[in-house]
Amino acid sequence: YTVEQSRPASQGGAVLSTLTINNVMESDFQSTYNCTAWNAFGPGTMIITLEET
């Protein structure tokens, strides 16, 4: 996997992180996953699905 970070000008200094996962299987797109991020305000968790790009 790889992780990319950027600071979009339109987001007021926020950091956008993109996780790229290699060698996924078709069945991986049928599942849901917990995604948790932390910052100075604490953690936040969302249920996510994979998206093919």
1-50 tens-digit pLDDT? 899 988 887 777 788 888 899 999 999 999 999 999 888 899 999 999 99
* pLDDT of amino acid 39: 84
Domains of the chain by residue range: 25-53
* pLDDT of amino acid 30: 94
* pLDDT of amino acid 17: 86
Q: Report pTM.
A: 0.63
CA torsion 42-16-23-35 (nearest 10°) is: 20
* pLDDT of amino acid 12: 76
b/e code 8-40 from CB counts within 10 Å (16+ = b): eeeeeeeeeeeeeeeeeeeeeeeeeeeeeeeee
Q: What is the largest CA-CA distance in the chain?
A: 37
Q: Is 46 helix (H, G, I), strand (E, B) or coil?
A: strand
* pLDDT of amino acid 9: 76
Other beta carbons within 10 angstroms of residue 50's beta carbon come to: 14
